[in-house]
Amino acid sequence: MHSRDEPLPHRPKRVLVAGVSGSGKTTLAGRIAGITGGPHMEIDAIFQLRREELWNGNLEAPLRTFFTDRDHIVRWAIRTRRKYTELMPHFVNDYPHVCVVRLRGQAEVEEWLRRSLIPAITG
Protein backbone atom coordinates (compact mmCIF):
# COMPACT_ATOMS: atom_id res chain seq x y z
CA MET A 1 0.00 0.00 0.00
CA HIS A 2 1.37 3.40 -0.98
CA SER A 3 1.58 6.38 1.33
CA ARG A 4 0.16 9.81 0.55
CA ASP A 5 3.57 11.30 -0.20
CA GLU A 6 5.02 8.40 -2.18
CA PRO A 7 5.33 8.94 -5.94
CA LEU A 8 2.89 6.92 -8.00
CA PRO A 9 4.64 4.19 -10.02
CA HIS A 10 3.04 5.42 -13.27
CA ARG A 11 0.41 7.74 -14.64
CA PRO A 12 -2.90 6.19 -13.58
CA LYS A 13 -5.29 4.98 -16.27
CA ARG A 14 -8.17 4.77 -13.79
CA VAL A 15 -8.73 5.96 -10.25
CA LEU A 16 -11.30 4.35 -7.98
CA VAL A 17 -12.26 6.24 -4.85
CA ALA A 18 -13.73 4.10 -2.06
CA GLY A 19 -14.85 4.95 1.45
CA VAL A 20 -17.79 5.13 3.79
CA SER A 21 -20.82 7.36 3.26
CA GLY A 22 -20.12 11.02 3.77
CA SER A 23 -16.34 10.70 3.55
CA GLY A 24 -16.03 12.96 0.50
CA LYS A 25 -15.64 10.35 -2.24
CA THR A 26 -17.66 12.25 -4.83
CA THR A 27 -15.83 15.51 -4.14
CA LEU A 28 -12.43 13.85 -4.37
CA ALA A 29 -13.38 11.94 -7.53
CA GLY A 30 -14.45 15.21 -9.14
CA ARG A 31 -11.14 16.82 -8.24
CA ILE A 32 -9.20 13.84 -9.59
CA ALA A 33 -11.16 13.99 -12.86
CA GLY A 34 -10.33 17.69 -13.11
CA ILE A 35 -6.62 17.02 -12.63
CA THR A 36 -6.40 13.99 -14.90
CA GLY A 37 -8.89 15.09 -17.55
CA GLY A 38 -10.59 11.72 -17.12
CA PRO A 39 -14.31 11.07 -16.79
CA HIS A 40 -16.07 11.21 -13.44
CA MET A 41 -18.95 8.83 -12.83
CA GLU A 42 -20.94 9.08 -9.62
CA ILE A 43 -22.43 5.64 -9.00
CA ASP A 44 -25.03 6.85 -6.47
CA ALA A 45 -26.45 9.32 -8.97
CA ILE A 46 -26.86 6.62 -11.61
CA PHE A 47 -28.92 4.45 -9.27
CA GLN A 48 -30.91 7.35 -7.78
CA LEU A 49 -31.82 8.72 -11.19
CA ARG A 50 -33.29 5.36 -12.06
CA ARG A 51 -34.90 5.12 -8.62
CA GLU A 52 -33.22 1.76 -8.10
CA GLU A 53 -32.09 0.25 -4.87
CA LEU A 54 -28.45 0.87 -3.99
CA TRP A 55 -26.07 -1.97 -3.08
CA ASN A 56 -26.83 -3.88 0.13
CA GLY A 57 -30.48 -2.89 -0.26
CA ASN A 58 -29.75 0.65 0.92
CA LEU A 59 -31.75 3.66 -0.14
CA GLU A 60 -30.93 7.08 1.21
CA ALA A 61 -33.78 7.80 3.58
CA PRO A 62 -34.50 11.18 5.17
CA LEU A 63 -32.05 12.04 7.94
CA ARG A 64 -34.89 12.07 10.49
CA THR A 65 -35.17 8.28 10.14
CA PHE A 66 -31.62 7.90 11.47
CA PHE A 67 -33.02 7.37 14.97
CA THR A 68 -35.81 4.97 14.02
CA ASP A 69 -34.31 2.87 11.22
CA ARG A 70 -31.53 0.53 12.34
CA ASP A 71 -30.48 0.11 8.70
CA HIS A 72 -30.41 3.83 7.87
CA ILE A 73 -27.51 4.43 5.44
CA VAL A 74 -25.61 6.57 7.96
CA ARG A 75 -26.00 4.00 10.75
CA TRP A 76 -24.95 1.27 8.31
CA ALA A 77 -21.86 3.33 7.38
CA ILE A 78 -20.94 3.71 11.05
CA ARG A 79 -21.40 -0.01 11.65
CA THR A 80 -19.30 -1.05 8.67
CA ARG A 81 -16.65 1.72 8.70
CA ARG A 82 -13.84 -0.66 9.68
CA LYS A 83 -14.61 -3.03 6.81
CA TYR A 84 -11.97 -1.52 4.52
CA THR A 85 -9.31 -1.86 7.21
CA GLU A 86 -9.81 -5.62 7.13
CA LEU A 87 -10.25 -5.96 3.36
CA MET A 88 -7.42 -3.83 2.00
CA PRO A 89 -4.45 -6.01 3.04
CA HIS A 90 -6.10 -8.97 1.25
CA PHE A 91 -6.84 -6.84 -1.81
CA VAL A 92 -3.25 -5.57 -2.00
CA ASN A 93 -1.92 -9.14 -1.77
CA ASP A 94 -4.35 -10.48 -4.38
CA TYR A 95 -3.85 -7.60 -6.85
CA PRO A 96 -0.25 -6.40 -6.50
CA HIS A 97 -0.43 -4.53 -9.83
CA VAL A 98 -3.07 -2.15 -8.41
CA CYS A 99 -1.69 0.94 -6.69
CA VAL A 100 -3.64 1.48 -3.46
CA VAL A 101 -3.25 4.70 -1.50
CA ARG A 102 -4.93 5.10 1.87
CA LEU A 103 -5.88 8.66 2.75
CA ARG A 104 -7.08 9.56 6.23
CA GLY A 105 -8.49 13.04 6.17
CA GLN A 106 -8.41 16.18 4.10
CA ALA A 107 -4.78 17.07 4.85
CA GLU A 108 -3.64 13.71 3.49
CA VAL A 109 -5.84 14.15 0.41
CA GLU A 110 -4.27 17.53 -0.31
CA GLU A 111 -0.77 16.15 0.18
CA TRP A 112 -1.46 13.17 -2.12
CA LEU A 113 -2.89 15.37 -4.85
CA ARG A 114 0.06 17.79 -4.65
CA ARG A 115 2.94 15.33 -4.15
CA SER A 116 1.77 12.19 -5.94
CA LEU A 117 -1.09 12.56 -8.41
CA ILE A 118 -0.24 15.89 -10.04
CA PRO A 119 3.44 14.95 -10.61
CA ALA A 120 2.34 11.59 -12.11
CA ILE A 121 0.04 13.44 -14.53
CA THR A 122 2.32 16.32 -15.45
CA GLY A 123 5.48 14.24 -15.63
Q: What angle do CA 121, 33, 36 make, to 5 degrees?
A: 15
- Confidence bin at 11 (pLDDT 50/70/90): very high
Q: What is the pLDDT of residue 46?
A: 62
Encode pLDDT of 104-121 as tens digits.
899 999 999 999 999 999
Average pLDDT, the chain: 83
Rounded to 5 degrees, what are φ and ψ at 2? -85, 150
Q: Where are the domains of the chain?
A: 25-122
Instruction: Give the Cα separation of 5 and 39 in Å (integer).
Output: 24
Record the pTM.
0.70
Residue 21 neighbours by CB under 8 Å, 6+ apart: 73, 74, 76, 77
At 2 the three-state DSSP class reads strand
Instruction: Give the Cα separation of 110 and 106 in Å (integer).
Output: 6
Instruction: Give the Cα separation of 87 and 82 in Å (integer).
Output: 9
Residue 31, CB-side half-sphere exposure with 13 Å CA sphere: 14
Residue 38 neighbours by CB under 8 Å, 6+ apart: 14, 15, 32
